[in-house]
Amino acid sequence: MRTAFFRTLKELAEHDERIHLIVADLGFGIVEPFAERFPTRFLNAGVAEQNMTGIATGLALCGKVVFTYSIANFPTLRCLEQVRNDVCYHNANVKIVAVGGGFAYGSLGMTHHATEDLAIMRALPGMVVVAPGDPIETELATRAIATHSGPCYLRLGRAGEQAVHASGVAFEIGKAITIRDGCDLTLISTGAILPLAVAVADRLSDDGIRARVLSMHTLKPLDTGAVLAAARETRAVVTIEEHSVIGGLGGAVAEVLAECSEVRPLFKRLGLPPEFSPYVGSQEYLRARYGLSEDGILALLRPLLNLVAG
């Protein structure tokens, strides 16, 4: 995902002199092509995310389109006051990019676990929140937020995420992408866990259960139409995210369903408990510890599937 982001950002910068990139002393080996091509539009602010965000806001208020970039929660939680008071309050054209959503940097421990970021960014006035599901969506999301006027948050996986889509995907901020249709239940995922949601749907299909799969790449604004259509047209709605079940995708979908008097589908949130993880290890290992594997998700869904089948 990060490779797709930087490739796309460099291409966009070739045609838009307003685009700037500020990083917080990381990304060596992947940011160099942008820095070498556009030395006057690149800045390494050092390990000073508050300064990075303030500088970005100042540039944005001078007419620039500024991307900030750092690991996981550092460009968000470490400088949350600056994001809120500088970027959002001034509706500045700053695009906050976090690499390593969820447990992508799991081996570095809880300081590098980004498991509350979507909830916090969703709560900020004026902030658009985007978490693409694969490298194809990442390219399209980068293009979309570059042309969107105002604050945006882009949450990426670390590297090596597999492509789910072929070419020709229609991408629009605030509009979910239907990966496959189905009438028994709907699996809604956000972010880099999308391939796992598709794999679970494949396993369910082997058992005769037709699962709709939605990539909810935009958390804010949420595609309420897609959520309500799933509630009307399938018997159950399940959210899957590598994030706390509080305030992220599951919370956003629950809000929509709670205020809908038309339908009451079966509903389940799959994600992480609202606690600090005591575990350290690979992303795959940490996902499995919390049931976010193919077998784990199927086990968590079993009681719901019994009701759907009944």
**Average pLDDT score over residue span 196-219:** 96
- Cα–Cα distance measured from residue 178 to residue 171, given in angstroms and rounded to the nearest whole number: 11
Look at residues 219, 214, 213 and name the one whose alpha carbon lies nearest to residue 243. Answer: 219
The least confident of 27-31, 43-47, 83-87, 236-240 is 27-31
CATH dotted code for 177-309: 3.40.50.920
List the end-to-end C-alpha distance of the chain, in Å, as a whole number.
40
pLDDT over 80 at 195, yes or no: yes
**Average pLDDT score over residue span 263-286:** 95
Domain spanning 2-156, CATH class: alpha beta
pLDDT over 80 at 192, yes or no: yes
> Tens of pLDDT along 160-179?
888 999 877 899 999 999 99
| Length of the chain in terms of residues written | 310
Res 310: pLDDT: 65
Q: Mean pLDDT across the chain, nearest whole number?
A: 95
**Average pLDDT score over residue span 272-288:** 95
> Tens of pLDDT along 64-76?
999 999 998 999 9
Look at residues 260, 250, 195, 193 and name the one whose alpha carbon lies nearest to residue 225. Answer: 260
Q: What is the pTM of this model?
A: 0.96
Vertex 98, ends 92 and 100: CA angle to 5°?
170
Boundaries of CATH 3.40.50.970 in the chain? 2-156
Boundaries of CATH 3.40.50.920 in the chain? 177-309
